[in-house]
Structure 1
Amino acid sequence: MPDHPSPAVAGVPPARIAALRAAAEAAYRARRPRTQARLAAGNDFLGGVPMHWMRDWPQPFPMLVARAEGAVIEDLDGNRLDDFCLGDTGSMYGHSPAPVAAAIRAQAERGLTYMLPTEAALDCAGLLSARFGAMRWQIATTATDANRFALRVARAVTGRPKVAVFDGCYHGTVDEAMICRDAAGRTVARPGLVGQVADLALSGTALPWNDLGAIDAALATGEIAAVLTEPVMTNSCMVLPAPGFLEGLRELCTRHGAVLILDETHTQSSGWGGYGRGHAIAPDMLVVGKCIAGGLPAAVWGMSPALADRFAAYDARRPSGHSGMGTTLSANPLQFACLQATLTQVATPGAHDRMEAGARRLAEGLAAAIARHGAPWHVARVGARVEFICHPTPLRDGAEARLAHHPALEAAIHAALVVRGCLIAPFHNMMLVSPVTTDAQIDRLTAAFDAVLAELFGDPI
């Protein structure tokens, strides 16, 4: 009997995916002899890298960065890439913005950490409220920490045990968010968790995105202290809220007495003040991390004045002892120096206007290439955040996002873009446009994407 070809992956023959990946890997190796030699010399990091996921990029070996400036990154071998990953949002405003670099130099001469506030720290609270809305703020080092602390407050003020998150969500490495829905709709731990022993369904409930009925039913149990969510699902395949969904979510949380926590760590790219403020969705708590201090590790979390009053009352009653919130190096003066510089000089309304215009140009260019080659894909955009999704129609929830995720195809595309001088996020198809990204860089990425599609969707084999 004749051999049958393997089924296409998102419209692409597997043989073409393999050929694209092989060619990209060969070119990547040929251009990085110094990097290969340095890695071959070995080191004492586990797996040879300081964080295990640095080996998960779809290249045959990690890129060693020599420097980065603006929206360009340069590796040890002198290869320069237009950077649309931007530290997966950590450097969303560009690498080392001049005001932030100056703030670091100035603060370094005054001390790096001393467990006491500064005048700049006091100024930053007002700057944050002016940007995101009136809140009572606290500072953390990462958004994971901020989310973890926010959940403690929500449980404290409600007296309820569980946290609701959405199937397919991303909130860092918070335990309560490491859950998903199985085929029967039950809450289970995400596959692949390392060293997991506790039953995460005891503390968390995974809900389907864009399903207000399911949310209503879950909140009606009286067990849910908080709903922790991004206003747009990211870090999977980007899934937008259906019209009225976020408004409905806000109303349901109010009706059932659950705390609504918006994690805008990624969606602050949607515009000045974030997605919630831009769409008049008022959360009870807000978390923002990654690029909030221009690339220096920092995160902020705040609660509405009403919730702050409730927490103050709880705090006055609780026994003295460890709160389980806070880390020694959080709220250090270096964070505040960079936060102040970012909020006043870098992440301005004008900067977000430039990001929006550039992202629109990128999304239109990618969509045109997809149409030109007849790919059954689409482009999603929220503010400065753009993704091509290897699925013909917009997605509704996390389950659809999982089905639209094609790791082998996406890895091949990423690798092929890298050897064409364009870096995008490695674990999904996210691209960010910074205030310093040029039209020429956007057009180079569009041209590279078009060339990759030509290889994947060219004449039949």
Structure 2
Amino acid sequence: MTPTALSERAAAFLMSERARFIDRNPASRALAEAAGRHFPGGVPLHWMKDWGTPFPLVVARATGADLTDADGHGLADFCLGDTGAMFGHAPPPVVAAIAAAAEGGLTAMLPSTETAVVGDLLAETFALPYWQVTQTASDANRAVIRWARAITGRPRILVFEGCYHGQVDDVFVTRALDGRTVVRPGLLGQVADIAATTVCCPFNDPAAVAAELARGDVALVLTEPALTNTAMVLPAPGFLDAVADACRAAGTLLCLDETHTISTARGGYARAHGLAPDFLVVGKPIAGGLPAAVFGFTAAVEAAMQAVDARRPAGYSGIGTTLSGNRLQLAAMRATLEAMMTPAAYDHMLALSARLADDVSAVIARHGLPWSVTRLGARAEIVHSTAPLRDGAEAAASIDHGVESAVHLGLLNRGVVVTPFHNMTLVSPATRPDHVDRLVAALDDVLSLLAR
């Protein structure tokens, strides 16, 4: 089937699936309408409207790798809160730790008795000696950017086209057709020209990185080890090593944002591939889904931080929020690191994700579609390309949003949840082979209707 014919077929299929969703979910519709009296669109965060459904699907319960919606339907969950629940919904050790900690108080703006143990666990897991806790990965990335500029005395940072680092002003840039760094279209309330202090390079282009760093004014390269917020782009062999080498040569600091690539292996992509960044950020799943994130750094960076602190005037540093590092976060983090983020958990996740990728690839081939599956550890994604994608521009150009939306809603109506933005799957320790079987059967049915 040609791409044009598939797009036309997807539009008709999407109309019928939207009608099916409405008929299937009357309780969700009523609850969304009630919530809409005070929450625009019936959601407490506007991103929750981005699922391509006629109204939000309302969750009544989430346990393990299963969701139950307000209408009582059971769904196999491969989205897992877009990685927040990567180790499963409500994992019992984390729930027990949160309950026990809550009895002794939630927050006091002082370190808890868990602090030393959590520090040991973070250092052992991620191979970096020093750590700080924040509320979100966005906060962690903002802190890293400030520290890097303060340490180096340089104004600019470098990111890659198609990257995602949360709600961080400095990274909301992209590349124009002529290669210039420009502010991303669609930003609300943007007044500063971010492109004056951030440069955007193509992923997998070490020469472009080296050329920018040679100017001597870049404080930090901030990157995901693989692009995961567009159609997934894996690093070419040697690319991340070349970036690290260029950073060392230029006196630029390197931060790997592992908020999604923590799916690669225990300790993340960096540890699995022997990378040694100056900073490492992990958010979302680090406390079992409780709002928390961490950033780690080397001994050399910690010494530079101390020197910066000693020189600056007293007063607010611009880094930190009152609830960061609270007792509840540390209790949940300890339980996650000790009981959930284990070698055995990753063995299960990676093996089942490999099977998922193989089975989904077989379904795609059976229907003769020019697609493939890209996999990174426990994460796998349907990509609208037969060849691996090289950079963010190529990834963006590959996506047929109508087809993507049709597949997503078709799966949802058949009891399977995948990430809404680009049909990505994630396998948790609670995911079972029958969950994968359900996904594969649902996808086969959807593609039969789309591609026949």
What is aligned with 2:253? Answer: 259
- Counting only pairs closer than 5 Å after superposition, residues 123-162 of structure 1 correspond to structure 2 as 123-162=117-156
Is 2:270 the partner of 1:276? yes
Aligned: 1:395 with 2:389: yes
Deviation at 1:19, TM superposition (A): 2.1
The Cα offsets for residues 110-139 of structure 1, whole Å up to 9 and x where unpaired, read as 000000101211210110000000231000
Q: Residues of 1 paired with 2:27 and 2:169: CA distance?
A: 40
Q: Structure 2: where are the runs of 5+ without partners?
A: none
SS for the counterpart of 1:13 is helix
Query: Share of identical aligned residues, percent?
Result: 53
2:446 to 433, 438, 452: 452
- Structure 2 counterpart SS, 1:34: helix
Residues 68-97 of structure 1: per-residue CA shift (max 9 Å, x gap): 100000111101100000000000000000
User: 2 CA distance for matches of 1:142 and 1:12?
Assistant: 42
| In the alignment, structure 1 residue 351 sits paired with structure 2 residue 332 | no
Q: Map residues 325-340 of structure 1 onto 2, 5 A cutoff.
A: 325-340=319-334
Q: For residues 417-446 of structure 1, what are the alpha-carbon distances to aligned partners after superposition, in whole Å with 9 as ceiling and x for unaligned?
A: 001110000111210000110001101101
Alignment partner, residue 174 of structure 2: 180
State the Cα distance separating 1:314 from its structure 2 match.
1.2
Cα distance in 2 for residues equivalent to 1:47 and 1:68:
22
Distance in structure 2 (CA, Å) of the matches to 1:39 and 1:399: 36
Q: Does 1:416 align with 2:410?
A: yes
Cα displacement string for residues 300-359 of structure 1 (whole angstroms, at most 9, x for unaligned residues)? 001101111111111111111110000001100000000000000111110011000110
Q: Which residue of the partner structure matches residue 20 of structure 2?
A: 27
Cα deviation, 1:181-200, whole Å, max 9, x if unaligned, reads 00000000111000111101
TM-score by length of 2: 0.98
CA distance in structure 1 between the aligned counterparts of 2:33 and 2:192, rounded to whole angstroms: 39
For residue 299 of structure 1, the aligned residue among 293, 299, 312 is 293
> Does structure 2 retain, via aligned residues, the 8 Å contact 1:356–1:383?
yes
Note if 1:209 corresponds to 2:203.
Answer: yes
Contact (CA 8 Å) 2:60, 2:69: kept in 1 or not? yes
Q: Partners in 1 of 2:412 and 2:45 — Cα distance?
A: 21
CA–CA distance in structure 2, aligned partners of residues 214 and 13 of structure 1: 36
Shift in Å, 1:46: 2.8
Which residue of the partner structure matches residue 54 of structure 1? Answer: 48
User: How many equivalent pairs are there?
Assistant: 451
Cα deviation, residue 20, structure 1? 1.6
Matches of 1:38 and 1:400, distance apart in 2: 40
- Equivalent in the alignment of 1:314: 308
Does residue 361 (structure 1) correspond to residue 355 (structure 2)? The answer is yes
In 1, the alpha carbon distance for the partners of 2:6 and 2:369 equals 12
Q: Is the 8 A contact 1:85 1:432 kept in 2?
A: yes
Aligned to 2:353, the other structure's residue is in SS state helix
What SS does structure 2 have at the residue aligned with 1:265? coil
Structure 1: give runs of 5+ residues left out of the alignment: 1-6
**Equivalent pair of 1:12/1:456 in contact (CA under 8 Å):** no
Residue 166 (structure 1) aligned with residue 160 (structure 2): yes
Q: Measure the CA separation in 2 of the matches of 1:118 and 1:12.
A: 60
Moved more, 50-59 or 327-336: 50-59
| Superposed displacement of residue 366, structure 1 | 0.7
Quote how far apart the aligned CAs of 1:8 are.
Answer: 4.7
Secondary structure of the 1:110 match is coil
Structure 1 position 246 matched with structure 2 position 240:
yes
Closer, same or farther in 2 for the Cα pair 1:59/1:244, shift >3 Å? same
Partner of 1:4: none
Contact 2:6 2:403 in 1 (8 A): no
Aligned residues: CA RMSD: 1.1
Paired with 1:391 and 1:313, the residues of 2 have a C-alpha distance of: 49
C-alpha distance in structure 2 between counterparts of 1:301 and 1:135, whole Å: 11
Corresponding position: 1:16 with 2:9: yes
Match of 1:99 in 2: 93
Letter in 1 for 2:12: A
Q: Tell me the CA shift for residue 12 of structure 1.
A: 4.4
1:404 aligned onto 2:432: no
Deviations 1:32-61 (A, max 9, x none): 112222223342113331111111211111
Stretches of 4+ moved more than 6 A in 1? none
Cα deviation, residue 416, structure 1 = 0.2
Residues 42 and 56 of structure 2 are in contact (CA less than 8 Å); yes or no, is this contact kept in structure 1? no
Length-normalised TM-score, structure 1: 0.96
What is the match of residue 427 of structure 1? 421
Give 1:223 shift.
Answer: 1.2
The alpha-carbon deviation at position 453 of structure 1 amounts to 1.4
